[in-house]
């Protein structure tokens, strides 16, 4: 009995043959040739089983290795399949004619019997079941959101009473990450948005010679709407998804379990610093974004539409009031909470696998954008009702 | 017997400037069950990484047969790596695949077997490690010890020539650990597999090991190589004796 040859050049062949004997109650199953993974095998376990069950119907099956030249896991695999079937059919199997190594492996494979109830049957479910499951999952999602918000409010209350347990240095890192580090991309996007707004307005307004009102359009558009909205969208992709991935990975590594057993609330320790960092930083970023947007608008108007910088500046000051700023800032605080909640919630609810972390990051991003747009519409509606 | 499979010559391992072990020299023969021992943090897992191609040596050579593992070109190295199976210290199962998919992955990539045959082999391998019936579970749904055994089933999926185990019995109950030892010996006897094991389990070391190397964290080099039983009987180094007798000293 040779061990497997890993580098045999010629194509190898193996075969299994069921041989009846003079005694009707006994059959011989003979294995010959190469039983390795890259060999072609003549005959298969299922053919043998079919023949045993329907044709020969012996009481005893002698397993023998004829001129077996080489074998690997393929042989025991086939033997186990046949053995299981024989047990079901009530046929005695005699393995004494097999190489000792194979007998040893077979014994090992049977050493730990299958745990009852462990196996899962994968049957197709009727469609109604799937629909029901989807609805239940959605309902659970809503419950999860409510639960999470409740927990977050409790943690926030603990923070206000000065009883929240978290490391200030974590908070500083989060602030650094959610604030100054985001400036470059906010600068770029806001400038371009201001530019685009100016161009869109200019095409119409310059027809009436009213270019000066581009300043009104850009100023109000950015301060009331675009500044807060664009900042929130950028932060949901940049920071919200990162929160989901961080917390999700911590969940995969049981780090969140470890915090819980230490008696530290993950809500206070992990979520609170992230949430407060975003709530503190997003309004500032939105203000900065407003400034950049107005500068972007000014660049276009001054360079292409025959308005001086001073005129543009004065017109903007006339058009944009403090109340407009407060609307924009109010929105950005709301958006900050939504982005942080979506990111942290998805992270905390993350499953325990690599793909679950990816799903959590995606879900965090998608959810926060949906929340942002819905909240924005609601706030805009309320503002117009009250004439703010 | 004396048919060298892996030869390590003057190996120095370092993370950056931080030397973990220097001047390692030993030979692993075909069909050996080779034990890497030493205290926690002395560099056993690091040594394993050098042997399986995950980390290149700071100095020295690793030979597979007569091939210089770290000097040959990348494609040669990959073909050597395909002949080895590894069980990582933490299992390293793919978390988004079921156990059955985990084990079927190398089979589907590197053999031409049909799906039914692959499925049969998967069931057989799971039965070998005592996990029959757990095909459709995800790694996160089974216990730590079970993950370890599933990792082992994946390592032996392709019947590799050389198997590397990083602490295979950590986290297993004594009976399962014993079955694992039986499996290791069986693989060696039936398929002629060379087996390299990192372990602290004294019972295993003496039961299965026929060759070993002892790494020391203080002197940052190996103290001895040879059969564990012989080391216990003949070594004069107090550190080795302490290790092999759980600090109780040699019985007189
Ligand atoms: N990625 C890394 N970067 C820097 N140093 C490392 C790295 N991984 C390990 N080390 C250091 O190398 C040394 C050896 O680590 P290694 O994981 O090989 O230990 P070990 O012998 O396997 O220990 P154990 O028995 O606990 O698994 C340790 O001192 C560790 O601090
Ligand atoms: Mg280790």
pLDDT digits (tens, 9 = 90+) for A182-206: 999 999 999 999 999 999 888 888 8
* Sequence ranges of the domains in chain A: 4-111, 131-385
pLDDT value of position A10? 60
Cβ contacts (< 8 Å) between A110 and chain B: which residues?
127
Is A118 within 8 Å of B125 when comparing Cβ atoms?
no
Residues B227 and B213 sit within 8 Å (Cβ to Cβ)? no
Q: Classify domain A4-111 at the CATH topology level.
A: Transcription Regulator spoIIAA (3.30.750)
pLDDT beyond 60 at A174: yes
What are the residues whose beta carbons fall under 8 Å from the beta carbon of A242, sequence distance 6 or more?
Answer: A177, A343, A361
Nearest residue by C-alpha to atom 18 in ligand 1:
B43
pLDDT value of position B176? 82
pLDDT value of position B250? 66
Q: What share of chain B is helix, strand, coil (3-state, %, to 5)?
A: 40, 25, 35
Cα separation, B214 vs B236, in Å, equals: 13
Average pLDDT (A55-60) is: 78
Give the count of alpha carbons within 13 A of A266, CB side only. 19
Residue keyed to tokens 């276009």 = A300
Is A45 within 8 Å of B120 when comparing Cβ atoms?
yes
Is A354 within 8 Å of B94 when comparing Cβ atoms?
yes
Name the closest ligand to CA B19. 1
State the pLDDT confidence band at A67, using cuts at 50, 70 and 90.
Answer: confident
Average pLDDT (A204-219) is: 88
DSSP state of B55: S
DSSP bridge partners of A344: none
Residues A300 and A199 sit within 8 Å (Cβ to Cβ)? yes
* Closest residue by Cα to residue A166 from A266, A279, A45: A266
Q: What is the pLDDT along chain B (252 residues), one digit of tens a residue?
A: 568 899 999 999 999 888 999 999 999 999 899 999 988 889 998 999 899 888 889 999 999 988 888 888 888 888 888 888 888 888 788 888 899 999 998 888 888 888 888 999 999 999 988 888 898 998 888 888 888 889 989 998 888 899 999 888 887 888 888 888 888 888 888 878 899 999 888 888 999 999 999 999 888 889 989 999 998 888 888 888 888 888 777 665
Cβ contacts (< 8 Å) between A119 and chain B: which residues?
133-136
Ligand 2 is an ion; residues with CB less than 5 A from it: B 45
DSSP state of A207: G
Cα separation, A283 vs B51, in Å, equals: 54
The whole-chain average pLDDT of chain A stands at: 87
- What are the tokens at A138? 């959605």
How many other CB atoms are there within 10 angstroms of residue A133's CB atom?
A: 11
Residues A74 and A36 sit within 8 Å (Cβ to Cβ)? yes
Report how far Cα B152 is from the mean position of its chain's Cα atoms.
10
Cβ contacts (< 8 Å) between A70 and chain B: which residues?
none
The ipTM assigned to this model is 0.72
pLDDT beyond 60 at A220: yes
Q: In what order do the strands lie in the sheet with B59-64?
A: B18-29, B4-15, B59-64, B67-68
B173 touching A, CB under 8 A? no
Average pLDDT (A216-226) is: 92
Residues B67 and B80 sit within 8 Å (Cβ to Cβ)? yes
Is B132 within 8 Å of A73 when comparing Cβ atoms?
no
A81-112 per-position pLDDT tens digit: 888 888 888 888 888 888 888 888 888 888 87
Ligand 1 atom with least separation from CA of B43:
18
Cα separation, A269 vs A165, in Å, equals: 6
The pairing of beta strand B211-216 with beta strand B59-64: unpaired
Greater pLDDT, A366 or A74: A366
pLDDT value of position A373? 95
Name the closest ligand to CA B214. 1
Cβ contacts (< 8 Å) between A81 and chain B: which residues?
120
For A:11-50, CB contacts with B below 8 A are 37-38, 45
SS3 A37: coil
Burial class (CB in 10 A: 0-12, 13-18, 19+), B28: buried
A166-173: long-range contacts (C-beta < 8 A, 24 or more apart)?
A166/A268, A166/A269, A166/A270, A166/A272, A166/A273, A167/A269, A167/A273, A170/A269, A170/A273, A171/A273, A171/A276, A171/A277
- What are the tokens at A306? 């025959």
């Amino acid at each position: 009995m040779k061990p497997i040859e890993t580098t045999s050049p010629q194509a190898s062949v193996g075969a299994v043959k069921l041989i009846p004997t003079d005694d009707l109650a006994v059959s011989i199953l003979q294995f010959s040739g190469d039983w390795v993974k890259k060999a072609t095998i003549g005959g298969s376990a299922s053919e043998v089983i079919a023949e045993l069950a329907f044709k020969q119907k012996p009481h005893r099956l002698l397993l023998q290795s004829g001129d077996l030249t080489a074998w690997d896991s393929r042989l025991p695999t086939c033997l186990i399949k046949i053995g299981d079937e024989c047990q079901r059919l009530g046929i005695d199997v005699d393995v004494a004619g097999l190489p000792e190594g194979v007998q040893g492996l077979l014994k090992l494979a049977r050493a730990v019997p299958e745990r009852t109830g462990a196996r899962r049957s994968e049957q197709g479910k009727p469609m109604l079941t799937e629909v029901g499951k989807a609805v239940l999952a959605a309902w659970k999602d809503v419950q999860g959101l409510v639960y999470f918000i409740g927990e977050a409010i409790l943690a926030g209350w603990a923070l206000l009473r000065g009883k929240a347990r978290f490391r200030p240095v974590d908070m500083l890192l989060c602030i650094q990450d959610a604030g100054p580090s985001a400036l470059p991309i906010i600068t770029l996007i806001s400038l371009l948005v201001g530019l685009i707004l100016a161009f869109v307005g200019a095409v119409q307004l310059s027809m009436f010679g009213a270019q000066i009102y581009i300043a009104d359009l850009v100023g109000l558009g950015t301060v009331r709407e675009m500044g807060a909205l664009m900042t929130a969208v950028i932060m949901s992709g940049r920071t919200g998804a990162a929160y989901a991935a961080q917390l999700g990975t911590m969940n995969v590594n049981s780090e969140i379990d470890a915090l819980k057993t230490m008696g530290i609330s993950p809500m206070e320790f992990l979520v609170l610093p992230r949430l407060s960092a975003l709530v503190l930083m997003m309004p500032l970023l939105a203000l900065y974004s407003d400034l950049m947007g107005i500068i972007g608008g000014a660049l276009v108007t001054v360079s292409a539409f025959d308005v001086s910088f001073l005129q543009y500046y004065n017109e903007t000051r006339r058009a944009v009031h403090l109340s407009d700023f407060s609307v924009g800032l109010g929105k950005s605080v709301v958006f900050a909470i939504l982005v942080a909640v979506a990111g942290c919630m998805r992270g905390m609810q993350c499953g325990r696998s690599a793909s679950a972390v990816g799903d959590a990051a995606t879900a965090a991003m998608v959810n926060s954008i949906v929340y942002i747009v819905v909240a924005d519409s609601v706030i805009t509606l309320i503002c117009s009702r009250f004439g703010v | 017997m004396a048919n060298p499979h892996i030869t390590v010559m003057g190996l120095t391992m370092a993370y950056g400037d931080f030397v973990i072990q220097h001047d390692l020299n030993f030979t692993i023969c075909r069909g050996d069950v080779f034990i890497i021992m030493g205290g926690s943090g002395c560099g056993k897992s690091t040594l394993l990484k050098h042997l399986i191609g995950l980390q290149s040596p700071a100095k020295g050579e690793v030979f597979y047969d007569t091939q210089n593992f770290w000097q040959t070109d990348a494609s040669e190295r990959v073909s050597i790596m395909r002949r080895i199976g590894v069980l990582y210290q933490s299992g390293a199962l793919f978390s988004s695949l079921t156990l059955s998919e985990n084990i079927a992955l190398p089979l589907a990539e590197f053999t031409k077997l049909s799906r039914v045959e692959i499925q049969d082999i998967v069931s057989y391998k799971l039965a070998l490690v005592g996990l029959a019936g757990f095909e459709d579970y995800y790694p996160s749904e089974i216990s730590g010890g079970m993950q370890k055994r599933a990792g082992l089933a994946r390592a032996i999926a392709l019947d590799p020539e050389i198997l590397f185990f990083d602490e295979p019995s950590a986290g297993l109950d004594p009976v399962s650990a014993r079955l694992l030892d039986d499996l290791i010996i069986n693989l060696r006897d039936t398929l002629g597999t060379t087996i390299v094991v990192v372990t602290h389990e004294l019972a295993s070391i003496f039961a299965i090991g026929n060759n070993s190397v002892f790494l020391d964290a203080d002197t940052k080099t190996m103290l001895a190589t040879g059969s564990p039983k012989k080391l216990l009987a003949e070594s004069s180094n107090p550190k080795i004796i302490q290790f092999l007798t759980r600090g109780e000293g040699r019985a007189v």
